Structure 1
Amino acid sequence: MEIPGKPDMDLGPTLEWLREELAEMKIQDRQLLLTLRYLHSLLEELQAESTHWEDTRSSRSTSPFRARLSSEGRGCQPFQRQLGQLLQGEESRRSSFP
């Protein structure tokens, strides 16, 4: 439908821009899913370590201090470093409407 006094709009470039934006959003969705899966696995592992530490502490078979030292020495530092590297990836998406 033509509006008097206004030229016909060419929707081709706008539709192409929308396709590109949707493709980019799809990639970002995949990256977010991978990040969420990674964080979920980290949380499960930390929960398992915490449960193990609490079980060791309550059994009193070894010193709670030693049990905690062994669990801390095993794993938290590499996870924190990996998480920091993961979060330093793409900060945000810039939108530039044509």
Structure 2
Amino acid sequence: MKTAEEPARRLEQTLERLRKELAEMQIQDQKLLLTLRHLHSVLEELRSESAHWEDAMSSRGTSPIRARAGSEGRGQQPLAFRRLAQLLHGADGRRSSLP
């Protein structure tokens, strides 16, 4: 026999589960926001380095293609490029909660 309290108990359990899921989603949103802000700062740094590189190459009269090939041949990437590559490949040590 079902009592009148049983539906209320199930409703309370459902609400508690939803509160817990909402709290987890808020934490995930905060982490995503921090990642987005970090990516934005890395992209700004890349833009700055790119503008500096283009200005330096145009002032020297060096072909950007030849200059770029020379830097790639030495295997040196700007720090911002390495950091962006690490972020995109998940080398920052964070696990994704997505399936």
TM-score by length of 2: 0.68
In structure 2, list runs of 5 or more residues that go unmatched.
none
| Matching of residue 90 in structure 1 with residue 81 in structure 2 | no
- How much has 1:74 moved relative to structure 2? 2.9
Residue type of the partner of 1:39? L
Q: Kindly report which structure 2 residues correspond to 1:1-98, keeping only aligned pairs within 5 A, or say none.
A: 9-10=7-8, 11-60=11-60, 64=64, 65=67, 69=71, 72-75=76-79, 76-85=81-90, 86=92, 89-92=95-98
Moved over 6 A (4+): none
Q: Which has the higher contact order (CA 8 A, sep 6+)?
A: 1
Cα root mean square deviation, aligned: 2.9
The number of equivalent residue pairs is 85
Q: Percent sequence identity over matched residues? A: 48
- How much has 1:63 moved relative to structure 2? 7.3
What is residue 3 of structure 1 aligned with on the other side? none
Q: Kindly indicate whether the alpha-carbon contact (under 8 Å) linking 2:39 and 2:84 is maintained by their aligned counterparts in 1.
A: no
TM-score by length of 1: 0.68
In structure 1, list runs of 5 or more residues that go unmatched.
1-6, 94-98
